[in-house]
Each structure stands twice: as structure tokens, then as C-alpha cells.
Amino acid sequence: MKSDIEIAQECVLEPITEVAEKFGIDKNALELYGKYKAKLSDELYENSKANKDAKLVLVTAINPTPAGEGKTTTTIGLAQGLNLIGVKALVALREPSLGPCMGIKGGAAGGGYAQVVPMDDINLHFTGDIHAITTANNLLSSMIDNHIFRGNELDIDTNNITWKRAVDLNDRSLRNVVIGIGDKNGVVREDGFMITVASEIMAIVCLAEDICDLKEKLGKIIIGYNRSGKPVTAKDLKADGAMAALLKDAIKPNMVQTLEHTPAIIHGGPFANIAHGCNSIKATKTAMKLADVVITEAGFGADLGAEKFFDIKCRKAGLKPDAAVLVATVRALKYNGGVPKADLTKPNTEAVKAGFVNLEKHIENLQKFGVPVIVTLNSFITDTAEEVEFIRSRCEQMGADFALSEVWAKGGEGGKALAQKVMEVLENKTSRFKPIYDENDSIVNKINTICKEIYGAAKVEFLPKVKKQIAGLEELGLDKMPVCIAKTQYSLSDDPKLLGRPDGFTVTIKEIRVSAGAGFIVALAGDIMTMPGLPKTPAAENIDVDKNGKITGLF
């Protein structure tokens, strides 16, 4: 069996100008980064605003398992399948982070015959967006500490600085650091790093409509508080203009292609377990002006990415998704049913029945947002007809449509059945989308709604310091925003070991932060961290490059 990278390397890429031309995009609207990558100009979006909006379909998944679900692969393959049946479809994805690429996950450009290419470029530095975000983040950090060193006119409380530095790598040793050590090296204080994709600036880039909106949002970033307890912003430090200048190109969406030369817009990369998990508003809205159907995705399971897509991204962008595709595999359901990873390829309908409860909860959750749901199974040769039929029957009993997907093995051809089912739903079912809570409700009520309605928690516990943090935000009038909960992706609960559909559990909120620039409140649940660590055997150990510059081991 060929590896993903071998399949990608067999592909004869078309110049991105030719890929774009098929969708009516003039080459003058592209800002080229070599032959196969380009940024879409601001003029393209402005000139296409009069076009009718495409139908918008979200691809999400059950909670991830070691068996793999193939959400990105399905997203890409569905777009390819739609184009094969005569539907003008674009795919809009997030950019991979170098952290997981070099850590435990490897690359994130799809798989098999449903990939975006050039895969190596996309997985590594791409067009430099994430590096620009890292630099803008750390410029603000350096200006904070320089301001304090130069006399601290804003009276910043050095014990109450909430802004962290960033790097787009997994490095646990940087979670907590002390800076300023040594003579004339600034004020000594505790600081720390987060991974760039968890930075508020990443969220801002993904939620900004244009450069002016970007600068305004950057200026609202709260870096900490003065000794009187009042917030200090990036604009107070006069950092917003320079940060916006660093991001002037990063805010523009990127275009590449799938293995079948379908245009793919890839832009922005916030994680869904510690951030809001969606590609940029600008990328999605641009795609919706260039196609008849746009397929996008949100990170990890529907309890994280989909909830944040609906409650944060769609709310802020005024988007009304037309349907949701929920990805699962027979193997993943067996894992949720208690089967060890080594035995997942063995027929076991009873384990599928036991593990279906995880899929069941995600179907229910998506239906709460008022969108039609299509469940798709990533097909494997080890799946039995009995296992598949049980899943199909239960999904349809719940009011969800169902289709098999074979996009990994067959590309767009293997996505035709799913594509046809999606079009059937778009033509015959009406989305009645609505967010699950009112953003003007109290912080406590919003968190309770997500934890109880989406996760299935019996109770939410707020630590004493969290209650003080909430009271402080309410006093400052910073409570009327959506909530972004950071929690483990592996379970509906905040305990990664609780598989299936746990009940009777308590979600513990350990910290509250405000991302005033992005316009949401972050609640940290369980033991989630904003700077991951490397595994015992990092993926980086397997990556190499030969004398011709050919990369191996990146998948």
C-alpha cells in the first residue's frame, strides 16, 4: 500500500494560475508564492461581493481515537466528489501547525487520494502566515517589557500581566519561564510561552474581516492590568499599528489544490481544544463568493470544533451553515465500545453497538443547532456489512442522513455517494441554524449551557479563583461575549479517559481568560494546556531531506 507522501509525490501539480482560472479567478487576483501557491488579493473579495453566496457545509467528527477518523481527508474528498458530479465546489481548510507536525500527529493535509498539495510546503512554512503571527505576538511581548523597563508610564502591574510569548512548536520547558535575569536585561518577572495556534492573534486573524478590522481587534488585546486593576491594551502600548503591519499579508487567504486540482483555500490554524478551531472568516466568505458549495471543517470532535464554529465563528461572521457532515469509522466506534486498538480490525458488531453512543451524542448536539446532519463512515476493508448496516439504521432512526465514504482509496470517485447525499440534503432540507446560547447571558450560564447541553455534564464546578475572575470581567463589562472552552479532545467530558457517552460527570473550570481583541472569553477545563509537549518519539525524528531537497518522513 502506498503511503500518503508517495501518493502526493505522484501527483502532477497544475500551476495555481490554471487551477484558479477554472473557477473564474483571474491570475491578476493572485499573489504568487512560486508556481503552486498563491494568496488571494483583497481586490478579489471586494470585486466578488455581489456574487451569490454558496451553500456552506461543515465537516466535523466524533471524538478522535487512536484509530483515526479522517475528517480532513473526508472534507477534501467530498469537495473532489462534488466537482465530479458537476457541482462547483471549493474546500476551505485550516493551516497545519508545526507543533503537531514535528510532534505526535505528523502532517495535516488529508490522506490517500484526498490530499491538498504541495503537501510538504503546506505542512512546513507554507506562505509564512504562522511565522508572522508568532512575530506579531512576540513584538507585543517585547513592547510590554520595554515599556516597563523604560519607566512604566502605564503603571503596569508586573504580577498581573496575562499576555504570553509564543512559538509554533511543542516545547513543555517554555510553559513557565523567568525573564529579565542579568544586569540591564529588563525587569525580572515570571512569563511563559503558548503554542502560536493558541495565541489570541491567531484567533484575531481568523475573525477579522479586513485590515482595518484586524488593527482595531489587535488594539483591544488586554495584555494585563495596572496597579489599580484597570486593563491595559495593545493600543495603550501603541503596538497595534506595527502588529497590523506584520500581519498585512498573513490576513490574505492562501490557495493551493487537491490531488484532483480542485482549488483549496487554506488559511488560519487555531486548535479546537485550546482555541476556536476554525479557518478564517475571510477565507470562508471568499470561497462562498467563488463556488456553489463550500466545504469547510472545524477541529477535533463536534463537541469542540463544531460548537465553536457555530457559537463563535458563525455568530461573528453572520454565517448560516446549510448542513453538517459528521465523520466516524467502524473502528473508532469499536474503540469507544471498549475494544483495544490491536483488535479493532476484528468483526465485532456488539462493540459497535456499545460505542455508537458517542456518535449518537454528536448527532443530537448538531441537531440542537438546527442544521441537517449527514453521517459518513470512512470505509475500511475490515468493516462488515452487519456493522455498517447497524450504524446506517441507527443514524436514520435519529433523523440523520447516511452515506459511505471511500475517498482515501478512491479520491473524488470514492466521494460521489457522499457528495450526492449532501446535494440531496441541500436541495430538500432547510437549515434552521441558531447558536445554542445568547452571548449576552452571564458567563456562568453560557459555560453551563455548553457543558451540560453539548458535553452532557451533570454539574460544572468553578474554582474559587475562577469565580473572582468572572466577577472581575463582569465589573469591567467584558462578559457579553461568546465562550471558548479549552478541554481535552478525547472525551465529551474533561477527562480524556472517559470514552463513549459518559454521564453524571463534573466539568471543572480552572481558569478564565478574556480575549477582548478576538471577542470571546476562554474557559480552561480539566488539565488542558496551551503549550503541548513532545511525545517520547517525536515525528521530527523520522523527517529527513536528501541532497535534492526531497523531504521524507513527513506525513
Grid cell locating 481: 461575549
Quick one: CA torsion of 341, 342, 346, 350, rounded to 10 degrees?
-40
**What is the DSSP code string of 187-239?**
--EEE-EEEGGGSHHHHHHHH-SSHHHHHHHHHT-EEEEETTS-EEETTTTT-
Which residues are within 8 A (CB) of 547 and not within 5 positions of it... i.e. 6 or more apart? none
Answer whether the bond into residue 263 is a cis peptide, omega within 30°: no
Report helix angle 71-84 to 416-428, nearest 10.
80
> Helix, strand or coil for residue 406?
coil
- Which residue in the block uniquely carries the three cell numbers 467530498? 78
The DSSP output letter for 199 is S
Torsion-angle region of 110 (φ positive above 0: left; ψ -120 to 50: alpha; else: beta): left
- Which residue in the block uniquely carries the three cell numbers 500551476? 15
Q: Are strands 222-226 and 156-161 parallel, antiparallel or unpaired?
A: antiparallel
Q: How many Cβ atoms from other residues are within 10 Å of residue 59's Cβ? A: 30
Contact 419, 85 (CB under 8 A): yes
Count of residues making up the chain:
555
Just list the catalytic residues.
71, 73, 94, 105, 272, 300, 380, 408
